Structure 1
């Protein structure tokens, strides 16, 4: 049930005020890709580089969020959609605070990602596809999730018995099986500079 007797309270300090104080703009870098593709590894490496440069940043990671905010959600299609919806709203709050949000979630369904994108004005949401063949993801299998899925111990596992809908037109594609993490970070930093999110 949706509550209707609410009024949005405008904050005295705006997002633009925070941009001016920080010396950079805010946005969401929405990493999507299969489990084991390298989303969290690259996200944290980008976070470290932005932090080193004095940029306000924060990583929202799929597993970490499910330990707290979304611990009441499972992996049904409905729960997965709600998981992504909540993350989109949380990321939006961070963007309003002047922070660059680095979001690392499988987010396998195209419509879920589109609904999150619709929360943001142009130039504040950037979909980054961490492209890695499932064969390589299975070879890495850092959490041994693919092995469990193949044995039938995990049902509805993305890429095995649940679909992953590849982004059709992401702002950036990183072929994580072909380049080093350092090169991926450099590509993303250059992208942010090109969009004038952060200074060159």
Structure 2
């Protein structure tokens, strides 16, 4: 994974609006990798399933390096297994809708996009997502929030917090968020999503500019002092393994669209002010117009 560099050209948004960069982005996708021989023993598999293939995000714009980064791929059919690459089985055909995306956007008087809020547990992602959804609703804009905890009650209830399941969790949410954006809804995805490469793979699902990455830049010490669910305390006690920020890394965005800082001081922005910063960005890019 560490061999795949993330190149970002979009500027951060604080309280001002810098100009946009024009460099093209590398394309990312999700690839099914062969599982270790004992994977089936430790995983609940669908009935009659012969094997389990965890999903990992890879850079699909650099085909030549795939087998170098993942030696096991030399014995697999990379093109047939790729999920969001160009080549698919012949019996799977994309059916175009009779109503185009621009028609839906004209009806709703807004442009569909995905606002991806990422940050440590306790950084305020869900709080800002709620404030943003309410502020946009008050402006007559249609939104829907995909909360990281909520989706694990249904869509992703079968997933654990192991690395491969976290990748699959993010992949599913990214695909659902894309569907919302396609119908003209402003989709707010609020989840830790700790790995850059997984977020980049979700970005690649959407047209250029329609993925707005929002980084909750809050120090670990502040998040841990809040600890609304008591998870940091459990992680420090060794009762939770692989907890982001404690014994599993969080990879902060290198160059996202919006950065929301909160130092824990009284002078820090309120959730409503943070939501307004995001709205200012959306307005500047024309997403709140038909």
> Where does 1:107-186 land on structure 2 (aligned, <5 Å)?
107-177=193-263, 178-186=268-276
Q: Give the conservation status (yes or no) of the 8 Å contact 1:38–1:176.
A: no
Q: For residues 150-191 of structure 1, give each alpha carbon's deviation from its aligned partner in whole angstroms, at most 9, with x where no partner exists.
A: 111110000000000010001010013421112101111111
**Larger Rg, first or second structure (1 or 2):** 2
Separation in structure 1 between the aligned mates of residue 214 and residue 272 of structure 2, nearest angstrom: 16
Residue segments in structure 2 that go unaligned for 5+ positions in a row: 1-52, 54-80, 82-87
Q: TM-score, normalised by structure 2?
A: 0.67
TM-superposed deviation, 1:91: 0.3
Q: TM-score, normalised by structure 1?
A: 0.97
1:47 aligns with 133
Q: 1:193 aligned to 2:279?
A: no
Question: How many matched pairs?
Answer: 199
Separation in structure 2 between the aligned mates of residue 102 and residue 176 of structure 1, nearest angstrom: 20
Q: 1:103 aligned to 2:151?
A: no
Q: Give the conservation status (yes or no) of the 8 Å contact 1:15–1:98.
A: yes
> Where does 1:8-19 land on structure 2 (aligned, <5 Å)?
8-19=94-105
1:79 aligns with 165
Higher relative contact order at CA 8 Å, sep ≥6: structure 1 or structure 2?
1
Q: Give the conservation status (yes or no) of the 8 Å contact 1:57–1:99.
A: yes
Q: More helix per residue: 1 or 2?
A: 1
Separation in structure 2 between the aligned mates of residue 158 and residue 68 of structure 1, nearest angstrom: 22
TM-superposed deviation, 1:116: 0.5
Moved over 2 A (4+): 1-4
